[in-house]
Amino acid sequence: MENIALIESFSEFKDDKSIDKPTLMAILEEVLRSALKKKYGEDDNFDIIVNPDKGDLEIWRNRVVVADGEVEDPNQEISLTEARKIEPDFEVGEDVSEEVKLIDLGRRSILSLRQNLISKVHEHDNTNIYKHFKDLEGEIYTAEVHHIRHRAIILLDDEGNEIILPKDRQIPSDFFRKGENVRGIIESVELKGNKPAIIMSRTSPLFLEKLFEQEIPEVFDGLITVKKVVRIPGEKAKVAVDSYDDRIDPVGACVGMKGSRIHSIVRELGNENIDVINYTTNNQLLITRALSPAKITSLKIDEENKRAEVMLKPEEVSKAIGRGGHNIRLAGQLTGYEIDVFREGVEEDVELREFADEIEDWVIAEFAKIGLDTAKSILEQDVDDLVKRTDLEEETVRDVMRVLREEFEEENNS
């Protein structure tokens, strides 16, 4: 009866987990052999016959008949008297096969068998899930919001697999409700204990690249290549594209008529502003394009130190820097150059770090974040605008401007 009960539970696992029959039989045999080894010390003289379809399970122990009083290993040997209780015509030296019932292993062993079976089936299932999602790393995946936590959203796919979308992998404007479908890339898959931890990301540059593949046929077909993607998630992104077919305009094909093609991508990313530029191996031209929409007057590159000095008209500077310094930061990441912006026609200026004795380092760093690293670049700004664009108080901004003005007044008076 215990045999049938074990096989029935075994069949349930097969139906639930879709494990193939040979694997299922191998798991059951492994669990049984472990139990036999624990009880008898070894299992190499046991035959296990499993028939899941019929619910049959047989365990046979093979021993050699020895003369009474000469049994040295009870697991491998059986006395002549005990053997003849099984079959009356056994003789010394013959092999005896005796069926072992699960009940002979003890109630506790039977319970342990079932627990081990459950554990092994789950372990096998988790290994398959791990392998499946490991192959999907870097690919777009869709799952449904199951539970919303403070630090992460727990998603479930159609197979009931749990996927984690951490807070720092969500776009700042993301807001999801339970039951809603979420798209992202499978960023990483790790085994934590025996359970796979599947991490999704919506902030990775690779997510944007894969969206281009999904939404733009020429990228999917390989006619257009995405060379590099840089992002400030939810704010701004720059994508460099190229085509080996001169008849194709890669930027035009990606953006579409009046932005029709890229619109769905922008919407998916919480209205992230996406600049698509033509890739080129000409670094001067690449930097010029990367700083769009600003128009550059002149450009000087220091290849050794990977720096670029860009000269612009005063009205173009704010375009090059962008809101919050996003444009110039992404242009630097896209091109691999540290870009310094200079205003055309400004003869005398002083770098902000020269005022380190009077202005605290963290304040200088706040201005640098929005691309303002010289005295005049700050003095040209509106106080209210600087307060909005930085984490500085109005009083702090006014104090900095006072220090900078005094510097230029002293120079003019000398």
- CATH number of the CATH domain containing 180: 2.40.50.140
Give how many domains the chain has, as a whole number: 4
Q: Which of 78, 110, 131 is the last residue of a domain?
A: 131
> Residue 293: inside a domain, yes or no?
no
* 148, containing H or E segment: strand 140-148
* Residue 106 dihedral angles phi and psi, to the nearest 5°: 100, 150
> Residue 340: inside a domain, yes or no?
no
Cβ neighbours, 10 Å, residue 208: 24
Q: Which of 148, 179, 203 is the last residue of a domain?
A: 203
Q: What pLDDT shows up at residue 5?
A: 52
Q: Is the pLDDT of residue 155 over 90?
A: yes
Q: Is the pLDDT of residue 315 over 50?
A: yes
Cβ neighbours, 10 Å, residue 213: 16
Q: Is the pLDDT of residue 213 over 80?
A: yes
Q: What pLDDT shows up at residue 4?
A: 46
Q: What pLDDT shows up at residue 106?
A: 65
> Residue 184: inside a domain, yes or no?
yes
Q: What pLDDT shows up at residue 54?
A: 60
Q: What pLDDT shows up at residue 412?
A: 55
Q: Residue 145 has which token pair?
A: 């919001």
Three-state secondary structure call for residue 272 = coil
Q: Give the CA distances from residue 278 to residues 223, 268, 285, 306, 396, in Å, rounded to whole numbers and listed in that order.
A: 14, 23, 10, 21, 42
As a whole number, mean pLDDT of residues 21-31 equals: 74
Q: How far apart are CA 162 and CA 331, in angstroms?
A: 37
Q: Out of 43-57, 174-188, 364-378, 382-396, which region has the weakest mean confidence (pLDDT)?
A: 43-57
Q: Among residues 347, 350, 358, which one has the least CA distance to residue 400?
A: 358
Q: Is the pLDDT of residue 7 over 60?
A: no
Does 55 or 91 have the greater pLDDT score? Answer: 91
Q: Is the pLDDT of residue 22 over 50?
A: yes
Q: What pLDDT shows up at residue 139?
A: 95
Task: Kindly report, residue by residue over 242-283, the tens digit of the pLDDT.
Answer: 998 888 999 999 998 888 889 999 999 999 999 999 999 999
**Which amino acid is residue 233, in one-letter code?**
P
Residue whose token pair is 């009356």: 88
Burial call 39-71: b when 16+ CB within 10 Å, e when fewer: ebeebebbebebebeeeebebebebbbbeeeeb
Q: Is the pLDDT of residue 194 over 80?
A: no
Residue 214 burial (C-beta neighbours within 10 Å; 0-12, 13-18, 19+): middle
> Residue 331: inside a domain, yes or no?
no
Q: Is the pLDDT of residue 2 over 50?
A: no
Furthest C-alpha separation in the chain = 127
Asked whether residue 193 falls in the same domain as residue 210, the answer is no
Q: Is the pLDDT of residue 345 over 60?
A: yes
Asked whether residue 172 falls in the same domain as residue 229, the answer is no
% of residues, the chain, pLDDT over 70: 87
Q: What pLDDT shows up at residue 1?
A: 39
Asked whether residue 357 falls in the same domain as residue 396, the answer is yes
Asked whether residue 48 falls in the same domain as residue 103, the answer is yes
Q: Which of 131, 150, 181 is the last residue of a domain?
A: 131
* 200, containing H or E segment: strand 195-201
- Write out the residue range of the structural domain in which residue 392 sits: 352-413
Q: Give the CA distances from residue 139 to residues 181, 214, 401, 408, in Å, rounded to whole numbers and listed in that order.
A: 16, 11, 50, 56
Residue 289 burial (C-beta neighbours within 10 Å; 0-12, 13-18, 19+): buried
% of residues, the chain, pLDDT over 90: 40
pTM for the model stands at: 0.63
Q: What pLDDT shows up at residue 283?
A: 92
Q: Is the pLDDT of residue 186 over 70?
A: yes
Band (34; pLDDT cuts 50, 70, 90)? confident
**Domain harbouring 46, CATH code:** 3.30.1480
Query: Is residue 371 within 8 Å of residue 341, measured between CB atoms?
Result: yes
> Residue 301: inside a domain, yes or no?
no
Cβ neighbours, 10 Å, residue 226: 22
